[in-house]
Structure 1
C-alpha cells in the first residue's frame, strides 16, 4: 500500500521576523497563543488569528508516538494554507526522535518548539517537558542537532520554566548555551516546576533572563498571567521581552489580544463555523471550548449546565438557537457582535 504524501504548505511566514519587528511596526510586542494540550487545534488556532494573534502553537505532540503511530499523526495534527504562522510543539527526550519528527512536520509548519516546561509527572518520568531544564546537556544537544541540519530554513524555539530561585544563574546559563547553538527564540514561563498556576508569575526572573541575553540576537517571549491586553503591555514593559504568550487567558477569551476584556459573542459564532468547516474536533472538545468562552462571558450557570447537557453537535446548535441569536456566515453581523444576543423569548 502506497502512502500519500501531501505537498508542502505554500503559504509560509517567518515567526522570528514577526517577533523581532512587531514593536517597530505595530507599537506592541508579538502576540502569541501558547500550546495547550488538546485545545490548540486548527479551528481554535484560526479563531485566535481573527483577533490580532500573530503566532499560534499546536498542542504538544510526543515525537516518538507521532513518528511511529499513523493514528497519532491523524488525530494530533491537521492544517491548511490559512494556518500560518504555526509553531508545532514537540515533547521528546532524544535527538533521533526529534529529527525524525521534524523531518515529517517541517513542510507544513513555520517552526518547531521543544517543550521544556510541562510539569506533569508522567512527562517528567519520561524525561521530557520540564525535566529537560535539569538536563541542559541533552537540551543543548537537541537544539544543536536541529540547527546544524536545518539552519535558518527552520525556526526552532524552546519553551522553558525557571530553576529554583536559589539558582537563577543556572537558568540564564542554560539560555546562553541555547543561544550559542542557534536557538531562534526562547519562551520563558516564569514559574518553577512546582509552582501552581494560581501563584503569580515571576516577572523578575523573566527580566533577569532578558537582561542576561542582551549580548545575543535572540528574542525572549514571556509566558504566564496574561489575561488582558493591559496585562500584555504591563508584562512587556516590565521585562523587556519582544513577545507575550497567553494560554489559559486566550482559551477563555480568544479576543484578549484584540482588546476585549470579555470574550465577544462573535468568537462563539466564528468558532462554531470553523469547527464545521474544518472538522476533526471531537464534540466534547467543541463543547468545552464554548464552555470556557461562556464562563468568561458570565453566561448564567443554568445556561452553562444546559450547554454541557447536550450530547452531540445537533443538540448543541439547536440549544444555542433556542437561547441566542446565532448568526451564520453570510448573515449580517456574523462574527462582529460583542454582547450576548439573547432571544426575547428566552429571557
Structure 2
C-alpha cells in the first residue's frame, strides 16, 4: 500500500491536526505529550533523538521510543538529528513502526548541534539535505517531514523550502527565526517568512514562533495560511494553551504528576524541569521553595514541593492578595495562573509592527534580568558545576570578580609579586636587559662574573 503524500497525509494520518506540540529535548516526553493531548493538542513530536545513537544503542531506542508505545499517543512524529543519509535512513527504519512520520531536525541552533554538525548548521548544505530526504523518502514506509529555521532573506528561505519539497518532504514546519536568534537574542519570529513559504510550496506547512495563547494560534493561521501551528515554550508554561484556558498552575502540575505515575519510568530531571516551567512566576516569589525544588531527589519530593506551592498560593487568595501580586509582578494574571514567560525582544526587531503587539512591558525585561541572576547556578556548564562542587565558594560571575592589575607595558594581567609590575612576557625582556631577577616569575639570571666563569670552564 502506497504511503499517503502531502495533504492526503495531513488529512488522513494526522487527522488534519492544527494544534501541535513541538519536539523539545528532554521536555516532550510521553507523560507531557499525554497531558498536552488531554488539553487540546492534536499532534505531538518526540524530543529530538540522535540518529547515530539510536542505530547503535538498543537501550537508547527502548528508553526513548520502544517503551513509550501508547495508543493515546497518536498521531506521533519521531524527530531525528543526523548528518549522514545512510545513518538517518537506518534510524528511520528502526522507528517507522512506532510512529506516523519521521522528521529531520534542521532547526536546532544550540552549541551541541554546532559541535555535532546537525540541526540548523546543515542549512547551507543543500546537496546533502536533498540526498538525505530523498533517500529516506524512498526507503521508509512512513512520510518524511522537516523542521527548519529561516534565512534572513525571504527568497532564499522559499528556495530552501522548495528544495526540500522536491526531495520528498511531505510536511514542513517553519520556525520563523534565524540561526542566530536564540537565548538572549531570541527576538520575535517572522510570520512574513512563513507566509511566503506557505504560498510557494504544495505541501502542508506548520508555523512555529510567537505562540503564547490560543488567540496567537488563530491569528497565525489567518495571517500565514498555514495548516497547523506548533508551540514549544508556550505549551511548557501552559499545557492547556490549545484549549484557550489559563488554569491554576497546581491543576496542571498535579495532573502531570499523576500521568508520570501512570506511565513510568520518567526521568526525574524531566519532571523537575516541567515543574520549574509551570511554577516559574510563583517561584520568583517563593525563593525558598525554588531552592528546595532543585534539591529533592525523588518524585514524592517534587510532588510535595508542588503541594506546598499550591497551599501558599491558596493562602494568598484567601487573604485577597490577587490584585497586589499582579501589580508587583507586572503579569497579566496572578502568578499562580498558567501564563507565558516572554523573552525580551532584540532592539533591531522592535521596529516591526507585529512585534509591538507581542513585546511585554519594560518591567518584564527587568524581571528577566533578575531571573537570570537568580538562575546563575542552573546555567553553569557541567565543567563549572564540577568545580563548584569541589569549591562551593568559587565565583563564576565575571562582574563580581576583582579587577586584575594590568601590566604597565602591554595591559595583560601582571604577576601578583612581580618586582617590575609586569606580566611574565614583559618581565622576562626587562629582566634580561637589566640582568636582574624576578623570583615571582621564576626568572633567575646569572651575573657577568658567573657567565665569564662558565665560559672559561667550557673552553678548558
After the TM superposition, which of the residue ranges 265-274 and 299-308 deviates more from structure 2? Answer: 299-308
Given that 1:15 and 1:110 are in contact with CA atoms closer than 8 Å, whether structure 2 keeps it comes out as no
Higher strand share: 1
Deviation of 1:110 after TM superposition, in Å, equals: 1.2
Per the TM alignment, residue 285 of structure 1 is displaced from its structure 2 partner at its CA by 2.1
2:88 counterpart of 1:98: yes
Aligned length: 308
Does structure 1 residue 76 correspond to structure 2 residue 64?
Answer: yes
Q: Give TM-score scaled by structure 2 length.
A: 0.62
Distance (Å, rounded) in 2 between the aligned partners of 1:187 and 1:263: 31
> Which has the larger Rg?
2
Matched residue, 1:273? 258
Instruction: Say what the alpha-carbon RMSD is for the aligned residues.
Output: 2.8
Residues of 2 paired with 1:34 and 1:128: CA distance?
Answer: 18
Output one character per residue of 1:63-117: Cα deviation in whole Å (capped at 9) or x when no partner: 0011112232233333322211111110001111111101111111111110000
Partner Cα distance (1:265, 1:173) in 2 = 46
1:123 to 106, 113, 119: 113
- The 8 Å contact of residues 19 and 243 in structure 1, kept in 2 or not, is answered as no
Distance (whole Å) between structure 2 residues aligned to residue 237 and residue 211 of structure 1: 13
Give the equivalent residue in structure 2 for 1:5: none
Cα distance between partner residues in 2 of 1:344 and 1:202: 39
| Residues in 2 aligned to 1:238 and 1:133: alpha-carbon distance in whole angstroms | 26
User: Residues 115 and 280 of structure 1: is their aligned pair in 2 closer, same or farther, counting only changes over 3 Å?
Assistant: same
How big is each residue's C-alpha offset from its partner over 1:146-178, in whole Å with a ceiling of 9 and x where there is no partner? 22223xx4122100011133xx22221121122
Q: Distance in 2 between matches of 1:63 and 1:255?
A: 31
* Bigger RCO of structures 1 and 2 (CA < 8 A, at least 6 apart): 1
Which SS does the other structure have where 1:245 is aligned? strand
Which of residues 152, 174, 193 in structure 1 aligns to 2:179?
193
Of the candidates 164, 173, 197, which is equivalent to residue 159 of structure 2?
Answer: 173
| Conserved 8 A contact 1:44-1:271 | yes
CA contact (8 A) 1:15 1:55 kept: no
Distance 1:260 1:310 in 2: 30
Q: Note the residue ranges of structure 1 that are not aligned, 5 or more in a row.
A: 1-13, 23-28, 326-339
Q: Please report how far the alpha carbon of residue 281 of structure 1 lies from its aligned counterpart in structure 2 after TM superposition.
A: 1.8
State how far apart, in whole Å, the 2-side matches of 1:299 and 1:271 are: 21
Please say if 1:317 is aligned against 2:303: yes
Q: Any idea what the Cα deviations from partners look like across 1:191-239, whole Å, max 9, x if unmatched?
A: 11011353011111111111222xx2x0111001101101111211111
Whole-Å Cα distance in 1 between the matches of residues 284 and 12 of structure 2?
Answer: 36
